[in-house]
Chains A and B, each alone.
Chain A
Amino acid sequence: MLRCTLLPTALVGLAATLSAQDLLVRAKTVVIAPDAVLADGRFLVRAGKVAYVGQDVPADAAAKATAIDCGDALVVPGFVLPPTTLGRDRDLAEAALPFTPDLRAVEAFDPWHEELAKLPHGGFTSAILSPSPRNIAGGLGALVKPGAGGGSVAAPDLHLALSLNAAARNPERPPTSLMGAVDLLRSAFAQAKSSAAAGPDVAVLHSALQGNRKIAIAADTLSEIQQALDLARDFGFDAVIVGARDADKALDRLVAQRAAVVIGGLAPEMRLAQLQFPARLAEAGVPFCFTGRPDQARLSAALAVRHGLDRKSAWAALSRAPAQMFGVAGQVGALRQGCAADFAVWSGDPLDLGSALRAVYVDGARVHGELPSAAANPASSPAAGVR
């Protein structure tokens, strides 16, 4: 059923690419990045990337481009969903073994997966597909994107996913306790530090320690977070803490060790300290973002704003921050020159739950929604009515 609707879109997308037309996107407000907001702004999309922004758009290219006039809408960079299994937990959790750092999430990537196709519905244009935290060393994550003709992998082998949270401790296979899990990781890291020639799994750790890859550790309780930070300190890497339910109690250490935090989702019934945590993180300059299901992530950001987070930081938490935290800041998360043309058109501030999502573009191709045809540039043919 899904494929039926996608196929025509694919044809359209194909048509758009074949025509090799630039796109000139214009809107009342264009957010290039949270600190670069253009009023009556525009940018030029060429071959799926942002070629020129604002005043830099050459006049001749602007004239030849297909105009996408968003009217009084707000154009923001497409949101980036930080480590998630996109609901494919079964295929992304090698439960029989606790330590499999050399497994790659990209091998379990399904371009037609429903959850992937639903990302744009929440304004998300890319996600970091990650092995499940049910495994102490799950493997390598990848940056994936939804697409008109099925999803695609934008960057494989992005980060190393480790886990110290309760999901990783399984009573049916060792280690069953937190101290056992910590011991496992420590000995593995110690081995990795001393030599790379100890097998493909330790080699992955070695490479990560050299700085070639980000290391994300899933940890929720204070003891788990302390252990994760101890590992980062002792083996010399900057940790990204994923989940971080009780991280509000360890803020000082997070600041001191330049850690980053992926908050596993806020809900209205949580402790006040948890809801105010993002605001404190922003004040302290600790990078953070939200994960969960797409609608959950946006809700978390909105809740954080309600409890004191400034809007710019909230926008950053949904776009630029996750991209930076996982080393793909040049590709996604902002609409600067050279970045992918991933953007969403909103009727208002995306953090206001009343705002409607009008359209979403990935790599310059529309994957969701439709802009009113009257808004199209009268000089060119009306936008294809097929949705």
Chain B
Amino acid sequence: MIRSLPLGAIALALAALLPAQDGVTVYRNARILPGGAPAIDNGVLVVGGGKILAIGGADTKAPNGAAVVDCAGKTITPGLIDASFRAGNTPDMNENGDEVTPHLRVLDSLEPADPSFVRARSAGVTAVHVMPGARSVIGGLGVVLKTHAKDPQAMVVKHDASLRIVMGAEPSMGNRAIRGGSVDSIYYRRPTTRMGVVWAARKAFYDAKEALEKSADAPPATPSPGVEVLTRVLRGQVTAVTTARSEQDLRTALRLAAEFGYRTVLDDAQDAHMLVDELKAAQTTVMLGAPSATAIAGSAGADGADPRSVTARLLADAGVPFVITTGSNAASLDLVREAMFAARNGISSARALDAVTIEPARLLGIDQRTGSLQKGKDADFVVWSTDPLDPAAAAESVFVDGIAVQVLR
């Protein structure tokens, strides 16, 4: 009796220290790239209850009785984060009734069962930032989602993560001048030119600024919901993301932001390398869209000038913060391939991988939860067959919140 008592006490004490045995898995012998930290060879990753419990070298302690997976020869990275993701190509992503609809939420149009989430998962992407389509000048509020959850409601990581503004010709496409269509059509309206696009954006912000100044004196009667969202942007409570591709549009985006005093993130930004100093001065982060999209001598996009292959390297050299995305016009959702192309064109592999993991997490403000392999964060990770930036690498196992969403082997 007396002999067993201390043992029992030790057992109880241990039980109190260790997490529950159910669902704890240990991944050993892997090469771990934690994201934003140096690589660990022969590393150990311990996950349980949907969270990362421990990470370290071969001597990392793991609880007894946990399942062990030998990952010899494999590489483990955080789940990838696509900061500009095209979720489904349906007409619902664009509210064509009005060019300026800041209050609409793209989450209301999203189909949780959309195949694009499945494809993203199979490519190792565990979180995405979805914005309204590019047909409106100010399309509405974006949302950050995990690519999988038991319940579609639980997919949301951050509501109202961004307000999308689009510069360039795209919002004016489809609007007709009087000769082109019937006068009764809702598409017979401004803008049909870049001038009109910028006018629409400027007017919206002007109204919001007025309302902001007025509310300082007297509270508004019933603020229009759009103005309410724009005032939040002006106050810095919602991030403005401006999609602009050519140099001209990028400059316009910065000019608009400076005029009304809000900070903006630039999306797609194919020509960003042409105004590196302005970007630095404005402390702007760039969401680089699809470095793979243009072969060097192939045709550029409708709004683009030079191929975008070199942009990442030039931004990196100049110290402008950037992340790599598939771009909301992407034909494929293979985010790691974009990182490959960026690495090919001059940035280091580590930087390329960070640009699709921890950097977008920081940019989107979700880095407390995910984006790197750290104790306490969500168990979002990928086991690759080899180095992820090797074209032959396959995402063998993908985990979102500790749930296996793809297991190839």
Contacts and interface: CB of A to CB of B under 8 A. Distances in A.
Does A touch B (CB under 8 Å) in the complex?
yes
Interface of A: 169, 171-180, 182-183, 187, 221-223, 226-227, 246, 249, 252
B92 A179 contact: yes
Contacts of A246: 113
A226 B153 CA distance: 9
27 contacts: A171-B91, A171-B96, A174-B95, A174-B97, A176-B97, A177-B91, A177-B95, A177-B104, A178-B108, A178-B109, A179-B92, A179-B104, A179-B106, A179-B108, A179-B132, A179-B140, A180-B97, A180-B104, A182-B108, A183-B225, A221-B111, A222-B112, A223-B108, A223-B109, A223-B110, A226-B153, A246-B113
Contact of A178 (B92, B96, B113): B92
A186 B47 CA distance: 41
Contacts of B107: 179
Contacts of A227: 108
Contacts of B106: 179
7 tightest A-B CB contacts, nearest first: A174-B97, A179-B108, A180-B95, A176-B96, A179-B109, A178-B109, A178-B92
Contact of B92 (A172, A177, A249): A177
Given A176-B97, A177-B93, A183 B108 contact: yes
Nearest to A174: B97
A210 to B, nearest CB: 23
A173 B186 contact: yes
Contacts of B132: 179
Contacts of A172: 185-186
Interface in B95-138: 95-98, 101, 103-113, 132
A175 B111 contact: no
B94 interface: yes
Interface of B: 91-98, 101, 103-113, 132, 140, 151-153, 185-186, 225
A349 B56 CA distance: 69
Contacts of A223: 108-112
Nearest to B152: A226
Nearest to B150: A252
Contacts of B98: 174
Contact of A174 (B153, B186, B225): B186
Nearest to B153: A226
A310 to B, nearest CB: 29
Contacts of B153: 226
Given A174-B95, A183-B104, A249 B113 contact: yes
A176 B94 contact: yes
A226 B152 CA distance: 9
Contacts of A174: 95-98, 186
B237 to A, nearest CB: 20
A222 B113 contact: yes
B111 to A, nearest CB: 4
Contact of B91 (A169, A222, A226, A249): A169
A143 B104 CA distance: 36
Given A187-B225, A222-B152, A226-B152, A176 B95 contact: yes
Contacts of A187: 225
A182 B96 CA distance: 14
A249 B113 CA distance: 9
B105 A179 contact: yes
B47 to A, nearest CB: 27
A222 B109 CA distance: 10
Contacts of B185: 172
Nearest to A173: B186
B163 to A, nearest CB: 14
A251 to B, nearest CB: 12
Nearest to B136: A177
Nearest to A221: B111
Nearest to A96: B184
Contacts of A175: 95, 97
B204 to A, nearest CB: 16
Given A179-B109, A183-B105, 18 more contacts: A171-B91, A172-B185, A174-B95, A174-B186, A176-B91, A176-B95, A176-B96, A176-B97, A177-B96, A177-B104, A178-B92, A179-B95, A179-B104, A179-B105, A180-B95, A222-B152, A226-B152, A226-B153
A224 to B, nearest CB: 9
B111 A180 contact: no
Contacts of B101: 180, 183
Nearest to A186: B108
B92 A183 contact: no
A379 B54 CA distance: 92
Contacts of A183: 101, 103-105, 108, 225
Contacts of B108: 178-179, 182-183, 223, 227
Contacts of B151: 252
B97 A173 contact: yes
B112 A226 contact: yes
A177 B113 CA distance: 18
A173 B152 CA distance: 30
Contacts of B92: 169, 177-179
Contacts of A171: 91, 96
Nearest to B184: A172
Contacts of B111: 221-223
A221 B90 CA distance: 13
